[in-house]
Amino acid sequence: MATGRRKVTVIGAGNVGATAAQRLAERDYADVVLVDVVDGLAEGKALDLNETGPVVGYEATVTGSTNDYSLTAGSDVIVVTSGLARKPGMSRDDLLLKNQEIVGSVVRAAAEQSPDAIFVIVSNPLDAMCHVALSASGFPSERVVGMAGVLDSARFRTFIAWELGVSVRDVTGFVLGGHGDTMVPVASNTTVSGIPVTELIPEDRLEQIIQRARDGGAEVVKLLKTGSAYYAPSAAAVEMVDSIILDQKRVLPAAAYLTGEYGFDGIYLGVPVTLGAKGVEKIHEISLTDTEKAQLASSADAVRELVDVMATKA
């Protein structure tokens, strides 16, 4: 590793992890360590990425490792993508207990090597895996955050932009709650260059778009047939890493540990946060309609159910 550079570790060298490593290398603000349990997988992809540097023009060193966490020591940010991917017909909840074991194991190993790092959790079921990572790391909750809202919001914003024939850059909106079927696209806080989307799209059509956003991951899985989305998930995770490493203090929807905000306590849930060098630096409470409040409560109940299942099976 070159000296004096930041370090970002990506655990899991599958499609999401490897694509995240590529995006990070191309950012050129940190060296990257890619870790995987499959012998040679991370090393092979790391070598390929290093040989890309002269063409694309980045100096970042990418190091691959088969379960040697000593190479991750001193990481600033650790992105966890480990776990089994969904298959057609499989819900995120089916993955719960299998991925609980995997995520707990890798987080413990990485936290030991990088006690000051910030974890960005991508593994599914997302909100439940944040609880696993919080427990396994022993870190304060502001340094364990989940990537879901950025991805879900990107899907929501894409569909709105397509509907209106406008630039996706001018669509601002949040998707809150758990990552899955109970997510809450917040139409009341969604705008196009400041114009409320509720003034631009009829209510019945907007509800169809909201439902498509909820089903966004499943729609990709169904089309791919073998695998799940990775371009958008990796981009969303790296946007969060950008905000942390560069201390951008972006306000992004992310799975954060709530201690009374929105009326919930002791649970990870997708909410708008300020993300900076210290991790989750502030949780923002925004006004919601009564319907959105009820949906958020249902989403929280779904997350608690998963957490309770893990607790009873532990």
Catalytic residues: 179
- DSSP structural state of residue 177: B
Contacts of 296 (CB under 8 A, 6+ apart): 176, 177, 184, 262, 269, 288
Share in percent of the chain as helix, strand, coil (round to 5) = 50, 20, 30
Name which of 127, 172, 93 is nearest 271 in CA terms.
Answer: 127
- Report the alpha-carbon distance of residue 107 to residue 122 in Å, rounded: 12
- Report the alpha-carbon distance of residue 88 to residue 309 in Å, rounded: 23
Please write down the long-range contacts of 256-264, taking CB distance under 8 Å and 24 or more positions apart. Answer: 256/141, 256/145, 256/146, 256/280, 256/283, 257/130, 257/134, 257/141, 257/142, 257/144, 258/283, 259/141, 261/285, 262/296, 263/297, 264/300
